[in-house]
């Protein structure tokens, strides 16, 4: 008995260690799962808020005059709304990318304006997709304007490509105008 | 020769015929004979670069500042393996001539041919070349010159290089700074093998008698000797020869007092201590205690740490030369390599009259465990009559070969150069040539610094030094680390020598017409030269008698390429900036010095047109037009009258103008039809879409070529406003590089059906603001108003500025 004692003790210790490791892995997975849930909840909340801002902004543009004429005028986001969207950071980009798919001109124009306010490299990909693949020339035109708010070194190749390859002449003209007007350091003419 | 006119008359002449701006030209003839021997700074007249300013001249034709000055040291020695070198430095911006006289021990006179020093030139002369016979191998030395006080200075350095022995004596003008016929000193011996000698020299042309009294550490008289000195005679003696008990050894430390029958300043004396076996040598000059004006002593540059692989031990010995008991308080003020600062207090030392005591400096420094000290200063104060305490301090290596003396001076006294320094520095292998500056007050002080080097000027500019702090400047470090000066310039990598000049400024509590006081002497400095291989070091402290005097000032603006030009008027767009700086030119005994006056106050006449920061950065604001920029500060003029300097407050007031181009209107360039994108689902709507290309223009109607501005609008539909606040509306939301932006789409959508002939309309009015980035006052209201008539089948756009521009597209009823 005495001879088996130490061996059994080692086995017991190994089992305990294994249980501990398994327990820690479970806890870690649970924590990750919890974190993922939290993130989902947070994104849902942001989606709700941004939807609300877009809806309210568009509603403000639908008015009835004192003479009883119903009219839809443009409605730009208020500064406080822009600030709120900007405060959501990258999460807002994810949400707004979905709104870019809208066929409603007022909705996607507003979405692009909010993306422009967010700025940064993060807005390049969703706007690039519109510029390159969307079938609406008008939508591509507005996406070109919005992408100027991204870092110029990221935006410039996309605008340039559009100026050269977009099937719509008006879109190409808009792209050329943006290239000329929004380049931070106008290129000097080539040296002989 | 001193002027004896009534002081008010002199003052008024000096004030109203400003001597500091007299147009005396620089002395033209520089072809004077070469010095007899020239060791360093050959052809070292360094040209000062003037910075596109009127050429200034240094001069005075005033008898108050031109007089005959006689400087002296009590002893030189070129006998038996000793060499003596005389180093003369001309601080003046003009050529100066010096007359050197050697006096033998018995007082025989030897005139040396006059030597001429160019502006800011230093020369070293080997006395051996001038000594014609054994008679003149030892004695005293005088240097005289005619000119302003302190512009010619120098040192006499006695060395025995083979043994690593050096005694450095700075030339002093005892007749000018000594006020009594009493001299006090002391000694401290590193071992019982040390030799002590005392040199006593009659500086005057009349014979006199001298009483020499030695005291033990407790202040008990050890011996007394009476010596008669003929004119210019020098007496050398070993103290143990006059100890009453001939068998008694001279104690480790003690005091020496000299009373003479001559006028104040007639006798000079120094104690020379050496241990040739170790290479230890140290000099303690005797001082006139009555010349002190405050009960404080300061020393700049106490070495702490290691040198040449040996640990340094710090020694400070104090002696009470007053008549009553007193308590000496001291502290070491230091800064470490990583810029930590601190104070190591030195335990109080009680001193009875005549008592000499070691204050235990090494022990407290070691106990503090402070490491990596780059600069340290010593401070002592006591309650008692000024001059009641003498303190001598040094750092000595374990082997005794490296000795770094720290002169402790009463900064408030005129007998020591304060508030300025002029040092020749060199970079050489195995040589340490440092400059120490110390603030001797309990509040921050400001000083300026510049370094001339062959072919250029390096201007660290105006600097702040904290209370009690000691700063260290190393030409080699400034060069090797390529530290930029205030203009961003660095010292060329091939620079081997330079002439460093610094000046402090303090006119606290003075009003115009008052003389400088002791408490206006706020900084001390010295240069330390050390040959780390030979174990030879010396210290010198040269400066001007008066603080720098204001001469001129102007404003400069930075150009896009980084250079600076004089500013009087400039154009600026809203949101753009221009950096200004106030420049001040001062004049002191060394000539003119130009630097950026960082204490200038800046002000803008109209902040809505341009704002200015405390550092002089002007930013064009939202309103256009002319705007004045003001810079003002208090400067000081110092008039070198009598034995001191008279203060004259001088208010500097400078101005320049900035013409601001600001965005003032939106001008429509074109209106074209575009797709309004009216929704057709769930209900069909239609409208006439257009886009307006606007140009932002300035107050003169010229295009305002700035990108990144954000136009903002409010609008009303049939008189009802959409919002209380302005929102961005342009597409893209900011202006392009031409200051243009597109308002697209404009128009209104009306419920209708595709085949309707209706043409409903609404009236829309747009009012604007413009946000200009980084611009004070932004966003700015834009008075442009755009009135629209939005219809189902057309649109009319009327843009109102000074005139109305109308565009009509489609059918507008």
Chain A contact set for B687 (CB, 8 A):
72
Whole-number Å distance between alpha carbons of B94 and B29: 10
Contact between A65 and B717 using a beta-carbon 8 Å cutoff: yes
Contact between A69 and B762 using a beta-carbon 8 Å cutoff: yes
Determine the residue among A57, A67, A76, A150 to mutate to test chain B binding: the one whose Cβ has the most chain B Cβ atoms within 10 Å.
Answer: A76
**Residue A149 sits at the chain B interface (C-beta within 8 Å):** yes
The nearest alpha carbon in chain B to A144 belongs to B732
Burial call B58-73: b when 16+ CB within 10 Å, e when fewer: bbbebebbbeebbbbb
Residue B754 has a pLDDT of: 83
Residue A8 has a pLDDT of: 59
Determine the residue among B677, B725, B762 to mutate to test chain A binding: the one whose Cβ has the most chain A Cβ atoms within 10 Å.
Answer: B677
Q: Per-residue pLDDT tens for B247-258?
A: 778 899 999 999
Q: Which residues pair with B509 in a beta bridge?
A: none
Q: Can you give the CATH number for the domain in which B193 is found?
A: 2.60.290.11
Q: Per-residue pLDDT tens for B634-672?
A: 999 998 776 678 999 999 999 999 999 999 999 999 999
> Which domain-ending residue is among B609, B627, B661?
B661
Whether residue B425 sits in one domain with residue B397: no
Which residue of B679, B737, B762 is in closest CB contact with A65?
B762
Residue A33 has a pLDDT of: 66
Task: Identify the band that residue B723 occupies on the pLDDT scale cut at 50, 70 and 90.
Answer: confident
Q: Alpha carbon B619 to chain centroid distance?
A: 30
Chain B contact set for A105 (CB, 8 A):
677-679
Residue B2 has a pLDDT of: 32
Q: Which residues 713-742 of B are in CB contact (within 8 Å) with A?
A: 715, 717-720, 722-723, 725, 727-729, 731-734, 736-738, 740, 742
Task: Identify the band that residue B261 occupies on the pLDDT scale cut at 50, 70 and 90.
Answer: very high
Which residue of B742, B746, B748 is in closest CB contact with A71?
B748
> Which domain-ending residue is among B137, B172, B207?
B172
B494 pLDDT exceeds 60?
yes
Which residue of A71, A78, A116 is in closest CB contact with B717?
A71
Q: Per-residue pLDDT tens for B92-106?
A: 999 999 999 999 999
Higher pLDDT, B754 or B506: B506
Contact between A72 and B748 using a beta-carbon 8 Å cutoff: yes
Q: How do strand B306-307 and strand B373-382 relate by DSSP bridges?
A: unpaired
**Residue A67 sits at the chain B interface (C-beta within 8 Å):** yes
Chain A closest CA to B461's CA: distance in Å? 36
Task: Identify the band that residue B336 occupies on the pLDDT scale cut at 50, 70 and 90.
Answer: very high
**Residue B746 sits at the chain A interface (C-beta within 8 Å):** yes
**Residue A101 sits at the chain B interface (C-beta within 8 Å):** no
B458 pLDDT exceeds 90?
yes
Whole-number Å distance between alpha carbons of B242 and B213: 9
Nearest Cα neighbor of B320 from B360, B289, B284, B285 is B289
For the entire predicted model, the pTM comes to 0.78
Contact between B731 and A149 using a beta-carbon 8 Å cutoff: no
B235 pLDDT exceeds 50?
yes
Whole-number Å distance between alpha carbons of A138 and A168: 10
Residue B128 has a pLDDT of: 92
**Residue B773 sits at the chain A interface (C-beta within 8 Å):** no
Whether residue B671 sits in one domain with residue B635: no
Task: Identify the band that residue B64 occupies on the pLDDT scale cut at 50, 70 and 90.
Answer: very low
Whether residue B454 sits in one domain with residue B326: no
Average pLDDT, integer, range B222-235:
95
Domain-located, residue B235: yes
Residue A20 has a pLDDT of: 72
Whether residue B465 sits in one domain with residue B393: no
Chain A contact set for B718 (CB, 8 A):
65-67, 69
Determine the residue among B749, B768, B789 to mutate to test chain A binding: the one whose Cβ has the most chain A Cβ atoms within 10 Å.
Answer: B749
Q: How far is CA B784 from CA B9, B259, B659, B694, B726, in A?
A: 68, 92, 23, 11, 14
Contact between B718 and A67 using a beta-carbon 8 Å cutoff: yes
Task: Identify the band that residue B17 occupies on the pLDDT scale cut at 50, 70 and 90.
Answer: very low
B689 pLDDT exceeds 90?
yes
Whether residue B611 sits in one domain with residue B504: no
Chain A closest CA to B762's CA: distance in Å? 8
**Residue B795 sits at the chain A interface (C-beta within 8 Å):** no
Q: How far is CA A159 from CA A142, A147, A153, B708, B737, in A?
A: 12, 8, 11, 18, 16
Residue B19 has a pLDDT of: 35
Whether residue B136 sits in one domain with residue B121: yes
Average pLDDT, integer, range B738-758:
93
B259 pLDDT exceeds 90?
yes
Task: Identify the band that residue B226 occupies on the pLDDT scale cut at 50, 70 and 90.
Answer: very high
**Residue B196 sits at the chain A interface (C-beta within 8 Å):** no
Q: What letter does residue B53 receive in the DSSP assignment?
A: S
Q: How far is CA B452 from CA A128, B50, B133, B430, B736, in A?
A: 60, 11, 40, 23, 49
Task: Identify the band that residue B26 occupies on the pLDDT scale cut at 50, 70 and 90.
Answer: very low
The nearest alpha carbon in chain B to A64 belongs to B717
| Residues in chain A with pLDDT values less than 50 | 1-3, 187-192
Which residue of A60, A145, A181 is in closest CB contact with B738?
A181
Which residue of B678, B732, B790 is in closest CB contact with A148?
B732
Whole-number Å distance between alpha carbons of B438 and B586: 22
Domain-located, residue B249: yes
Whether residue B165 sits in one domain with residue B38: yes
Q: Can you give the CATH number for the domain in which B477 is found?
A: 2.60.290
Using CB atoms within 10 Å of the CB of residue B410, give its burial: 0 to 12 exposed, 13 to 18 middle, 19+ buried. Answer: buried
Contact between A72 and B749 using a beta-carbon 8 Å cutoff: yes
Domain-located, residue B274: yes
Whether residue B11 sits in one domain with residue B158: yes
**Residue B675 sits at the chain A interface (C-beta within 8 Å):** yes
Determine the residue among A80, A86, A171, A181 to mutate to test chain B binding: the one whose Cβ has the most chain B Cβ atoms within 10 Å.
Answer: A181
Q: Can you give the CATH number for the domain in which B565 is found?
A: 2.60.40
Whether residue B788 sits in one domain with residue B715: yes
Whole-number Å distance between alpha carbons of A12 and B313: 65
Domain-located, residue B285: yes
Domain containing B264 equals: 173-291
How would you classify residue B239: left for phi > 0, otherwise alpha for psi between -120 and 50, otherwise beta? alpha
Q: Which residues pair with B381 in a beta bridge?
A: B296, B329
Scan for tokens 């119903």, then name that residue: A70
Summary mean pLDDT of chain B:
88
Which residue of A65, A76, A138 is in closest CB contact with B675?
A138
Chain B contact set for A145 (CB, 8 A):
731-732, 742
Q: How many beta-carbon contacts under 8 Å exist across A and B?
A: 93
The nearest alpha carbon in chain B to A185 belongs to B737
What does the block give as tokens for B73? Answer: 């040291």
Average pLDDT, integer, range B174-189:
92
Residue B545 has a pLDDT of: 86
Q: Which residues pair with B301 in a beta bridge?
A: none
Within 13 Å, how many C-alpha atoms sit on residue B639's CB side?
27
Determine the residue among B712, B727, B739, B792 to mutate to test chain A binding: the one whose Cβ has the most chain A Cβ atoms within 10 Å.
Answer: B727
Domain-located, residue B19: yes
Residue B643 has a pLDDT of: 62
Scan for tokens 């200009």, then name that residue: B772
> Which domain-ending residue is among B232, B264, B291?
B291
Whole-number Å distance between alpha carbons of A144 and B100: 86
Chain B contact set for A146 (CB, 8 A):
732
Chain B contact set for A183 (CB, 8 A):
737
Residue B46 has a pLDDT of: 31
The nearest alpha carbon in chain B to A65 belongs to B718
Average pLDDT, integer, range B565-594:
93
Which residue of B679, B725, B737 is in closest CB contact with A104?
B679
Domain-located, residue B520: no
Average pLDDT, integer, range B742-764:
93
Domain-located, residue B307: yes
Whether residue B3 sits in one domain with residue B84: yes
Chain B contact set for A171 (CB, 8 A):
none
Q: How far is CA B753 from CA A42, A64, B445, B490, B794, in A?
A: 43, 18, 83, 78, 16
N-term to C-term CA, chain B: 103
Task: Identify the band that residue B3 occupies on the pLDDT scale cut at 50, 70 and 90.
Answer: very low
Total count of domains within chain B? 6
Which residue of B685, B723, B738 is in closest CB contact with A78?
B723
Chain B closest CA to A71's CA: distance in Å? 5
Which residue of A66, A116, A182 is in closest CB contact with B736?
A182
Contact between A72 and B760 using a beta-carbon 8 Å cutoff: no
**Cα-only R_g, chain B:** 37
Listed in sequence order, the residues at least 6 apart from B390 whose beta carbon sits closer than 8 Å to its beta carbon are B184, B185, B186, B287, B289, B318, B319, B321, B408
Chain A contact set for B723 (CB, 8 A):
60, 78
Residue B10 has a pLDDT of: 36
B49 pLDDT exceeds 80?
no
Residue A185 has a pLDDT of: 64
ipTM of this complex prediction, to 2 decimal places: 0.79
Whether residue B704 sits in one domain with residue B750: yes
Whether residue B442 sits in one domain with residue B314: no
**Residue A56 sits at the chain B interface (C-beta within 8 Å):** no
The percent of residues above 70 in pLDDT, for chain B, comes to 92
């Amino acid at each position: 008995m005495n001879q088996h004692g130490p061996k059994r003790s080692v086995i017991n210790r190994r089992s305990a260690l294994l249980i501990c490791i398994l327990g820690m892995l479970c806890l870690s997975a649970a924590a990750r799962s919890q974190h993922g849930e939290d993130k989902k909840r947070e994104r849902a909340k942001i989606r709700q808020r941004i939807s609300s801002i877009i809806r309210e902004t568009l509603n403000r543009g639908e008015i009835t005059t004192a003479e009883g004429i119903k009219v839809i005028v443009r409605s730009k986001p208020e500064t406080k709304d822009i600030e709120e969207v900007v405060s959501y950071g990258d999460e807002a980009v994810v949400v707004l990318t979905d709104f870019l798919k809208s066929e409603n001109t007022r909705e996607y124009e507003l979405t692009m304006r909010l993306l422009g306010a967010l700025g940064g490299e993060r807005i390049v990909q969703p706007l690039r997709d519109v510029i390159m693949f969307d079938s609406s020339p008008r939508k591509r035109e507005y996406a070109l304007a919005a992408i100027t708010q991204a870092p110029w070194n990221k935006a410039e190749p996309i605008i340039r490509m559009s100026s050269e390859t977009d099937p719509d002449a008006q879109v190409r003209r808009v792209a050329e105008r943006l290239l000329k007007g929004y380049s931070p350091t106008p290129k000097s003419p080539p040296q002989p | 020769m001193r002027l004896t006119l009534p002081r008010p008359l002199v003052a008024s002449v000096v004030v109203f015929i400003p001597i500091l701006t007299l147009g005396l030209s620089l002395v033209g003839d520089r072809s004077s004979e070469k010095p007899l021997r020239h060791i360093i700074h050959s052809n070292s007249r360094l040209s000062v670069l003037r910075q596109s300013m009127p050429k200034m001249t240094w001069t005075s034709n005033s008898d108050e500042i031109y007089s005959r000055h006689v400087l002296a040291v009590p002893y030189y020695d070129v006998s038996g393996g000793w060499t003596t070198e005389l180093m003369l430095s001309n601080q003046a911006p003009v050529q100066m001539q010096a007359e050197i006289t050697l006096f033998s021990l018995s007082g025989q006179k030897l005139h040396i041919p006059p030597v001429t020093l160019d502006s800011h030139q230093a020369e070293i002369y080997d006395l051996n070349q001038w000594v014609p016979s054994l008679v003149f191998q030892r004695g005293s030395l005088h240097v005289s010159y005619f000119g302003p006080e302190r512009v010619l200075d120098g040192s006499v350095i006695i060395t025995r290089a083979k043994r690593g022995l050096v005694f450095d004596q700075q030339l002093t003008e005892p007749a000018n700074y000594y006020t009594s016929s009493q001299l006090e000193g002391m000694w401290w011996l590193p071992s019982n093998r040390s030799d002590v000698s005392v040199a006593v020299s009659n500086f005057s042309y009349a014979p006199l008698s001298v009483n020499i009294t030695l005291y033990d550490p407790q202040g008990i008289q050890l011996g007394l000797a009476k010596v008669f000195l003929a004119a210019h005679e020098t007496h050398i003696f070993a103290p143990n020869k006059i100890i009453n008990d001939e068998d008694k050894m001279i104690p480790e430390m003690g005091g020496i007092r000299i009373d003479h029958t001559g006028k104040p300043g007639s006798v000079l004396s120094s104690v020379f201590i050496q241990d040739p076996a170790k290479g230890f040598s140290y000099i303690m000059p005797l001082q006139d205690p009555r010349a002190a004006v405050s009960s404080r002593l300061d020393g700049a540059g106490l070495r702490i740490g290691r040198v040449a692989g040996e640990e340094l031990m710090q020694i400070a010995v104090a002696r009470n030369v007053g008549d009553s008991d007193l308590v000496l308080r001291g502290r070491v003020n230091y800064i470490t390599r990583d810029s930590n600062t601190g104070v190591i207090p030195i335990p109080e030392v009680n001193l009875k009259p005549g008592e000499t005591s070691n204050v235990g400096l090494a022990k407290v420094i070691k106990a503090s465990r402070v490491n990596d000290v780059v600069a340290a200063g010593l401070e002592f104060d006591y309650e008692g009559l000024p001059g009641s305490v003498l303190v001598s301090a040094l750092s000595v290596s374990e082997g005794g070969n490296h000795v770094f003396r720290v002169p402790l001076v009463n900064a408030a006294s005129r007998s020591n150069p304060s508030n300025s320094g002029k040092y020749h520095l060199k970079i050489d292998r195995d040589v340490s040539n440092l400059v120490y500056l110390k603030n001797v007050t309990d509040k921050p002080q400001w000083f300026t610094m510049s370094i001339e080097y062959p072919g250029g000027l390096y201007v660290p500019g105006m600097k702040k030094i904290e209370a009690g702090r000691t700063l260290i400047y190393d030409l080699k470090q400034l060069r090797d680390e390529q530290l930029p000066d205030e203009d961003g310039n660095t010292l060329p990598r091939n620079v081997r020598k330079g002439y460093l000049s610094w000046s402090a400024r303090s006119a606290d509590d003075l009003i115009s017409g008052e003389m400088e006081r002791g408490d206006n002497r706020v900084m001390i400095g010295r240069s330390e030269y050390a040959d780390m291989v030979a174990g030879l070091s010396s210290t010198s402290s040269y400066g001007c008698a008066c603080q720098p005097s204001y001469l001129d000032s102007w404003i400069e603006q930075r150009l896009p390429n980084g250079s600076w030009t004089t500013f009087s008027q400039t154009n600026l767009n809203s949101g753009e900036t221009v950096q200004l700086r106030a420049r001040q030119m001062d004049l002191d005994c060394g000539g003119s010095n130009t630097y950026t006056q960082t204490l200038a106050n800046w002000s803008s006449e109209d902040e809505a047109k341009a704002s200015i920061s405390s550092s002089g950065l002007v930013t064009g604001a939202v309103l256009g037009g002319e705007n004045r920029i003001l810079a003002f500060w208090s400067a000081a003029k110092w008039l070198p009258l009598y034995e001191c300097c008279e203060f004259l407050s001088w208010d500097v007031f400078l101005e320049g103008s900035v013409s601001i181009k600001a965005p003032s209107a939106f001008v429509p360039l074109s209106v074209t039809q575009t797709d309004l994108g009216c929704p057709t689902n769930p209900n069909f709507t239609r409208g006439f879409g257009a886009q307006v290309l606007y140009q932002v223009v300035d107050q003169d109607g010229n295009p305002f070529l700035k990108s990144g501005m954000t136009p903002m609008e409010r609008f009303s539909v049939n008189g009802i406003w959409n919002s209380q606040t302005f929102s961005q509306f342009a597409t893209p939301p900011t202006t392009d590089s031409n200051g243009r932006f597109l308002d697209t789409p404009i128009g209104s959508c009306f419920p209708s059906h595709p085949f309707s002939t209706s043409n409903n309309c609404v009236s829309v009015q747009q009012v604007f603001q413009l946000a200009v980035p980084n611009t004070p006052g932004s966003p700015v209201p834009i008075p442009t108003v755009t009135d629209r008539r939005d219809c189902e089948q057309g649109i009319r756009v009327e843009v109102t500025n000074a005139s109305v521009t109308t565009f009509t597209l489609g059918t507008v009823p």
